[in-house]
Amino acid sequence: MSTVQRLKAPMGLLINRNKSVSFNFEGKSVAGLDGDTIASALLANNSWLMSRSFKYHRPRAPLTMAGQDANTLIQLGGEPNVLADRQNITDGIKVEGQNYNGSLANDRDAILGHFGRFMPVGFYYRSFFKPMGVWDKWEGFIRKKAGLGKLDLEFEPQYYDKKYLFCDVMVVGGGPAGLTAALKAADAGAQVLLVEEQPILGGSLTYNRFDILGCEADELRAKLVAKVVNHDNIDVLLNGVCNAWFTDNYLPVIQGQRLFKVRATECIVASGSFEQHVVFRNNDLPGIMMCSAVNRLMKLYAVKPGQRAVILTGNDDGYLTALALSDQQVEVAAIIDMRPSVANIELLEAVEARGILVKLGHTVYEALATSDNQHIRSVDVRKITAPGQVDNTAMQFDCDLLCMSAGYMPAYQLLCQAGAQLSYDDKLSEFNLSKLPAHLHIAGSVKGIHNLNVVQIDAENAAIKALNNLGLSSELTTPTTCHNKPNFPWPIFSHPKGKDFVDYDEDLQAKDIINATRLGYRDVQLVKRFSTVGMGPSQGRHSALPTARLVANATDRTVTETGVTTARPPFAPEKLAHVAGRIFDPRRRTAMHYRHLELGAKMIPAGNWQRPAFYGAAQNRDQLIQAEAIQVRNNVGLIDVSTLGGIEIRGPDAAEFMNRIYTFVFLKQPVGKTRYAVLTNEHGVVIDDGVACRISEEHFYVTATTSGVDRVYRDMMKWNAQWRLDIDIANVTSAFSAVNLAGPNAREVLATLTRDVDLSSEAFPYLAYRQGHVAGIPARLLRVGFVGELGYEIHVPARFGEALWDHLMAAGKEFDLKPFGVETQRLLRLEKGHVIVSQDTDGMSHPGELSMSWAVNRKKPFFVGCRSVDIVMAQPQTRKLVGFTLPKNSNKPLEGHLVIKGDDVTGHVTSCEYSTAVDAIIGLAFASIDDSQPGSILSIRIDGGQMVDATVVALPFYDPNNQRQEL
């Protein structure tokens, strides 16, 4: 590629001329400078073609040089849809165009541009589905054609995170308004956060020309920036995009790979405005740019944008751009001014003094392309005879650059998200904003103020209002008036041959918008959805204003009545990685966690806990579980049950509270005894269970399920907020570590470690509770029967948990004590027919259908859900949870498999496993009440649609007289 020489300093604010950077574009090496974006480096090498348009695959090049348009979307390595005019170059990056068939320069799909008449607005809503079945043929083709860029499926996630920021005043935009507002607020003592999306402060002061001599911007910028960067009360965040406004000034700002979540007491939006294009035929050719884009190219990147330029303007800014170009030795062939006259005579004289022709009351009617159709070569200029109309006499001006400015649209998005109202001023031909919420202020060109002096006063006014709200100032604001009128009222010149683009992203022409209204889509919201105007990456930054004008005109309404479509976050594209940030996924571990790992446990999640499922390789699951179960049945095993919920109820009304919360009777529960505790909700549904230990008259320690304890605690707190019983409730789940030492030799093992608890069956019978020490560790001991063997649950303060495990494992060595996991425990409790709440129950399970009536005291005056329990249990029962068996060689049903009777689903399997102790497959299932008697047959549909017949049996499957657990 040829390299255009860079403009001399002071052009090139962002580049470092001493550091070259080389990268690859479409297979060719490109030389740039440090600080260049991909787009500026390519333009410096006279390489304009960067992308192909969405529908017609037209050649596209930068329009704004500010990331405000989608013309520069490129593929950067594995990442699609990167804006080339915002992405800095670094050595060795690989850049490719997108959306072409063949090559970027020779896109075979550009032929689609000739078939525009077969693709009228909204054609896809009316095509592709008739005749029936034709969609199947179209879908593959359309999927292949749609979308931009390629995803890298081997992508390695990178580190993104989020951070909160707090300030008194957040100023969005570091241009003249933002800088002034920030200084005013900071001088009065406010803590200010100034957010600017560019790498340097200054906004339009960095590139725009505000005066004939071209000095004002640089001088003002230098003055303001020096004050801001040295101010103790101002924090500056460069390269930060404020991407939304949420209630109470909660604002996300994206910088690099971080999303800042800013909470500002006051917010001043000085976000500026978007320069608007003129609609004429071929207004999308490479070489056609906004005036501001051309100024950015020169001032920021020292790139000469062309050799011979034409300016198309509806305001004085076009003239100032002409002077800027002329300063850099770009020949300005003509200024085509759509206005009939120029108020600023000095400006007119200044351009004429440089030999620049001015054509007033004229417009570009058509841009003409080079022979390869990839750059502008001349413009067809005509006199304007009426809004949108031109006469037939054409003048041709050769050029390789067309700079246009039809006016400005405020960057309204954040403000409309905040509920501001957009109204159109017919006199000024521009939108303005009103009805801002409290604590949100605007200043500068977003407010329609384009005079630098007035901008500064206006910005100070915004700061004063913010300071008044903060109580830091009682100063009054100064009234302002801006006489600048940069918006040309009707910069839309439809061409009979079309290709006069309103929306560059979606390849929408003026006639497309008008035709949408003619098809009945008169509301701008419907126009948007039908035509897709404003739905592309630039989100209406350039299409909203012309669309509003065209729809208003076509539907005989005012532009205010027509409005623009709803602005929703995000303001600029944001990655899912930004939204996700650094994932926080809390994990809880018991004190014995590392002992399980050292023993080779297969760990599984249980809620947000980690628990050992079994000990050994995952592929040997079934054998390991059976071996562990046999160990517990015949000898002794140890399981970590620390995840069990634990709640302390203490106080004079403790027993009364327990009596009201749970279904059983607790008022007379003896001290030193445990009792099964079932919890129902107000619908009478069983929602949790546990064991309640009475430690003293006014002290209960009750366990709950691992996943249910937080809810149980919350419900207890809620109920007692009403009952006001004299108790204290404490969730002590994390405070205690616990194990279950179970098996015929459990007593022997425990006896070696405890001296102050009599472990004999007489002194410490089944269901009793004792306190003492185990290996010197203060412990609560419960005799429980969950797994159906002699068992001791030992609860100790969590700091002793690992030591407890170590002592028990050491003491158990001589008995060949082995650990067992939660999967094994599931099998053991299943052999006893014990229900696991939320495994064997659902949202409708009441005590009756779970055979838990024995745990419900119907005589006491109240427990939570008692009335509902009475009602549901008085109804004819329709289903019941039953035990079933199958011969061991049968195909084993899985949890969730359905119980089928005829054409009906009458239940489902909730638990199922092979049992060595019973030498059969055993399980629990909901079944029809008619099939709940032992001996009944349940037909269960297993994987593959096969049916197996299981036999209902009485529970428990093992040790029916419960002798083993009561040893």
Partner 1 sequence: MTTLIPEMFNNRSLLYRRYDELNPQYLELANGAIANYSSADCSSADSAEQLARSALIDLSLLPRLGFRGTNAATYLQQSGLELPERPNQSVAGNHGEQILRLSKQEYWVLGNLQSDNQWLNQLSLASLPTERCYKLFCQDSHAWLMLTGRHLADIMAKVCGVDLRASVFPTGAIAQTSVARVNAIIISHQVNGIAAFSILSDSASAEYLWGALLDAMQEFEGQVVGYSALQ
Query: What's the closest the beta carbon of residue 593 comes to partner 1, in angstroms?
Result: 8
SS3 of 663, please?
coil
> Is residue 590 part of the contact set for partner 1 (CB under 8 A)?
yes
Nearest to 701 by CA among 781, 787, 786, 766: 781
Nearer CB in complex with partner 1: 190/332: 190
Residue 821 DSSP code: -
**How far apart are the C-alpha atoms of 907 and 931, rounded to whole Å?**
10
Which of 535, 599, 606, 735 contacts partner 1 by CB under 8 A? 735
Is 627 a binding residue for partner 1 by CB under 8 A? The answer is: no
Q: Do 533 and 318 contact (CB within 8 A), yes or no?
A: no
Task: Verify binding: residue 582, partner 1, rule CB under 8 A.
Answer: yes
Nearer to partner 1 by Cβ, of 462 and 644: the residue is 644
Q: Closest CB to partner 1 among 67 and 812?
A: 812
C-alpha separations of 699 from 666, 723, 885 in Å: 12, 18, 42
CB of 797 to partner 1, least distance (A): 4
CB of 158 to partner 1, least distance (A): 14
The rounded distance, in Å, linking the Cα atoms of 282 and 288 is: 9
Question: Where does residue 438 rank: exposed (0-12), middle (13-18), buried (19+ CB within 10 A)?
Answer: exposed
Residue list 426-455, contact with partner 1 (CB under 8 A): none
Q: Does 233 bind partner 1 (CB under 8 A)?
A: no
Asked if 148 touches partner 1 (CB under 8 A), the answer is no
| DSSP letters for 732-753 | -GGGEEEEEEESTTHHHHHHTT
Residue 770 pairs in a beta bridge with: 781
C-alpha 311/C-alpha 295 separation (Å) is 12
Beta strands in 494-572 (DSSP E): 501-503, 508-509
Which one of 20-28, 204-212, 299-307, 583-591 is the stretch in contact with partner 1 (CB under 8 A)? 583-591
The answer to whether 948 contacts partner 1 (rule: CB under 8 A) is no
User: Binding marks (x or -) toward partner 1, 771..810, rule CB under 8 A?
Assistant: ----xxx-------------------xxxx-xxx-x----
568: contact with partner 1 by CB under 8 A: no
Stretch that binds partner 1, among 62-70, 155-163, 391-399, 451-459 (CB under 8 A): 155-163
Of 584 and 862, nearer to partner 1 (C-beta) is 584
Nearest to 120 by CA among 525, 514, 495: 514
Is residue 305 reached through a cis peptide bond, with omega within 30 degrees of 0 on the bond before it?
Answer: no
Q: Whose Cβ is closer to partner 1: residue 644's or residue 837's?
A: 644
Q: Is the Cβ of residue 274 or residue 736 nearer to partner 1 in the bound state?
A: 736
Q: Is 603 in the site for partner 1 (CB under 8 A)?
A: no
Least Å distance, CB 467 to partner 1, is 17
Contacts with partner 1 by CB under 8 A: the residue count is 44
Cβ proximity to partner 1: between 803 and 873 the closer is 803
Q: Which is nearer to partner 1, 263 or 888 (CB)?
A: 263
Residue number, 574 or 726, with CB nearest to partner 1: 726
Of 458, 503, 506, 648, the one binding partner 1 (CB under 8 A) is: 648
Min separation Cβ 708 and partner 1, Å: 16
What is the spatial distance between Cα 56 and Cα 376, in angstroms, rounded to a whole number? 18
Binding of partner 1 by 163 (CB under 8 A): yes
DSSP letters for 340-389: S--S-HHHHHHHHTTT-EEEETEEEEEEEE-TTSSSEEEEEEEEEEETTE
Question: Which structure tokens are listed for 328?
Answer: 């850099």
Interface residue with partner 1 among 6, 128, 162, 719 (CB under 8 A) is 162
Rg (CA), the chain: 39
Using rule CB under 8 A, residue 164 touches partner 1: yes
How many CB atoms neighbour CB 80 within 10 A? 18
Identify which range of 298-306, 381-389, 724-732, 902-910 contacts partner 1 by CB under 8 A. Answer: 724-732
In angstroms, the CA 261 to CA 238 distance is: 15
Q: Does 682 help bind partner 1 (rule: CB under 8 A)?
A: no
Are 600 and 624 in contact by the 8 Å Cβ rule? The answer is no
165 lines the binding site for partner 1 (CB under 8 A): yes
Candidate segments 469-477, 667-675, 733-741, 814-822, binder of partner 1 by CB under 8 A: 733-741
Rule CB under 8 A: is residue 724 a binding residue for partner 1? Answer: no
Least CB distance from residue 793 to partner 1, whole Å? 17
Q: Which is nearer to partner 1, 109 or 726 (CB)?
A: 726
**DSSP-derived 3-state class of residue 47:** coil
**Least separation, in Å, of the C-beta of 650 and partner 1?**
5
Nearer to partner 1, 589 or 941 (CB): 589
Q: Smallest distance from the beta carbon of 738 to partner 1, in angstroms? A: 12
Cβ-count burial 309-329 (b if 16+ within 10 Å, e if not): bbbbbbbbbbbbbbbbbbebe
Nearest to 815 by CA among 736, 753, 735: 753
Report residue 677: phi and psi, to 5°: -120, 120
Closest by Cα among 290, 291, 326 to 308: 326
Nearer to partner 1, 43 or 738 (CB): 738
CB of 485 to partner 1, least distance (A): 44
What is the distance between the alpha carbons of residues 349 and 954, in angstroms, rounded to a whole number? Answer: 106
Out of 115, 118, 584, 862, name the contact with partner 1 by CB under 8 A: 584
Tokens of 249: 């000034």
DSSP β-ladder status, 674-680 and 686-696: antiparallel
Candidates 109-117, 160-168, 531-539, 563-571; binding stretch for partner 1 (CB under 8 A) = 160-168
- Give Cβ neighbours of residue 512 (< 8 Å, ≥ 6 apart): 120, 121, 502, 531, 533
**Chosen residue from 6, 227, 231, 263 binding partner 1 by CB under 8 A:** 263
For partner 1, the binding residue among 6, 227, 231, 261 (CB under 8 A) is 261
Residues in contact with partner 1 by the rule CB under 8 A: 161-166, 191, 261, 263, 582, 584-591, 594, 608-609, 648, 650-652, 726, 728, 730, 732-736, 775-777, 797-800, 802-804, 806
